[in-house]
């Protein structure tokens, strides 16, 4: 294997990339656009839930109770209603996702020390938001009920007993529970896998379609030299994309980076070798650019998005899918990026994931090299 032949092939591919705006745009512009769109649009935070209120009591007590919801950042007041028909209409037209209904005897029953019923209706067509919203409401109501109970004890001259359990929750690594902080690192992995495979999935297939493969076959270049030469320019573009993604995460999305930047690029380099080789393998087998791009999209985007743990927790999946995730390289790269970004951990903790990516890169490159034959058939 000669470096001069590898460099000659890399130089040829480099010139093609920069003479073809589509390849350059796919390699640099599309990842950045995807990162911005997904980074701002994809969020798992549930706040400012639109809410309407039907206050049938209309007293100072009911208004104080309502103020607890209005002061919360999790609910957004959209107006008052007077009947259940108005509640139904507000939810049907998506003006509100939840409705708070206070009964006419609300203040009277509280003053008498009796339990009063408060109803909250949630739009179950958005089950995730409805479940989280009801959880927020239960916390607000629980806090308000506890305050009333304590005031009643003090009013009667009783002694307020200390709580037998002092529960003090604390969140590590993402104290504010910002979904963006763990979405952006995972998103970098997904985008890198999709774009890298798409870029190289067109390389060999393009040579066959344009009729230049015969010229390459007639040269003394070996198959591994051809593959390495075609991978190098895209490897450089991939690392440049990683640099842009890290800078955007730091300055645009304000995602904390607690680990070492060197580790991100080291693991990204290994991941890119495997993913680029996967795209090359698809290109060698397909020999058609349209087919290769479609196969690359199906083989990368769907597994990376659905089965990597980026968007959906793996432990909540059926056991069969959980086993399948072990062969998804994006799963390990997502774990690596989240560990480096949010926890600041190093190779000791992430050794297993790193070793798997090394095996993935070796296997994909070996398969691409084995599958490529220097003959016209």
Mean pLDDT of 114-133: 88
What per-residue confidence (pLDDT) applies to 271? 94
Q: What digits encode the pLDDT tens for the residues 227-241?
A: 898 899 889 989 999
Tell me the average pLDDT of the chain.
86
Q: Which residue has the higher pLDDT, 40 or 336?
A: 336
For 78, the token pair is: 């959209």
User: What does the radius of gyration of the chain's CA atoms come to, in whole angstroms?
Assistant: 29
Mean pLDDT of 123-147: 88
CA angle 193, 194, 198 (to 5 degrees): 115
So what's the architecture of 49-155 in CATH? 3-Layer(aba) Sandwich (3.40)
Backbone angles phi, psi at 307, to 5 degrees: -115, 10
Sign of the CA dihedral 329, 333, 339, 342? negative
Using alpha carbons, select from 184, 193, 185 the residue that is nearest to residue 270. Answer: 193
Q: What digits encode the pLDDT tens for the residues 299-345?
A: 888 888 888 888 778 888 899 999 999 999 999 999 999 999 989 98
Mean pLDDT of 51-60: 94
Torsion-angle region of residue 177: left (phi > 0), alpha (psi -120 to 50) or beta? left
Contact between residue 52 and residue 81 where contact means Cβ atoms under 8 Å apart: yes
Contact between residue 110 and residue 116 where contact means Cβ atoms under 8 Å apart: yes
What per-residue confidence (pLDDT) applies to 162? 55
Using alpha carbons, select from 188, 317, 369, 368 the residue that is nearest to residue 265. Answer: 188
Beta strands in the chain (DSSP E): 49-55, 75-80, 98-102, 119-122
Contact between residue 304 and residue 194 where contact means Cβ atoms under 8 Å apart: yes
Instruction: Assess whether pLDDT exceeds 80 at residue 152.
Output: no
pTM of the predicted protein model = 0.81
What per-residue confidence (pLDDT) applies to 155? 72
Domain map (residue ranges) of the chain: 3-43+178-371, 49-155
Q: How does residue 167 score in pLDDT terms, banded at 50, 70 and 90?
A: low
Q: What digits encode the pLDDT tens for the residues 270-292?
A: 999 999 999 889 988 888 888 88
Instruction: Assess whether pLDDT exceeds 70 at residue 158.
Output: no
């Amino acid at each position: 294997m000669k470096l001069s032949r590898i460099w000659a092939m890399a130089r040829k591919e480099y010139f093609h990339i920069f003479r073809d705006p589509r390849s350059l745009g796919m390699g640099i512009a599309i990842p950045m656009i995807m990162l911005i769109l997904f980074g701002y649009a994809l969020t798992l935070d549930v706040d400012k839930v639109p809410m309407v209120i039907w206050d049938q009591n209309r007293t100072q007590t009911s208004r104080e109770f309502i103020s607890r919801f209005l002061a919360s950042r999790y609910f957004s007041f959209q107006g008052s209603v007077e009947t259940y028909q108005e509640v139904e209409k507000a939810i049907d037209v998506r003006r509100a996702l939840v409705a708070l209904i206070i009964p006419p005897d609300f203040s009277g029953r509280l003053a008498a020390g009796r339990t009063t019923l408060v109803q909250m209706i949630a739009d179950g067509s958005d089950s995730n938001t409805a479940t989280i919203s009801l959880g927020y409401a239960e916390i607000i109501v629980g806090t308000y009920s506890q305050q009333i109970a304590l005031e009643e004890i003090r009013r009667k001259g009783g002694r307020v007993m200390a709580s037998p359990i002092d529960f003090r929750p604390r969140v590590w690594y993402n104290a504010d529970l910002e979904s963006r902080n763990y979405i952006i690192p995972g998103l970098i992995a997904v985008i890198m896998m999709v774009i890298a495979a798409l870029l190289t999935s067109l390389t060999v297939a393009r040579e066959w379609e344009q009729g230049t493969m015969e010229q390459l076959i007639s040269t003394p270049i070996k198959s591994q030299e051809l593959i390495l030469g075609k991978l190098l320019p895209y490897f450089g573009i991939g690392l440049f994309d990683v640099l842009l993604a890290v800078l955007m995460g730091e300055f645009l999305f304000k995602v904390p980076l607690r680990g070492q930047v060197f580790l991100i690029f080291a693991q990204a380099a290994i991941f890119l070798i495997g993913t680029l080789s996967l795209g090359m393998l698809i290109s060698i087998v397909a020999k058609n650019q349209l087919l290769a791009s479609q196969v690359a999209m199906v083989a990368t985007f769907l597994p990376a998005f659905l089965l990597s743990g980026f968007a959906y927790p793996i432990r909540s999946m059926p056991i069969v899918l959980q086993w399948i995730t072990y062969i998804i390289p994006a799963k390990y790269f997502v774990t690596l990026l989240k560990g480096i970004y949010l926890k600041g951990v190093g190779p000791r903790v992430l050794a297993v994931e790193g070793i798997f990516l090394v095996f993935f890169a070796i296997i994909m490159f070996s398969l691409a090299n084995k599958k490529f034959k220097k003959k016209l058939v």
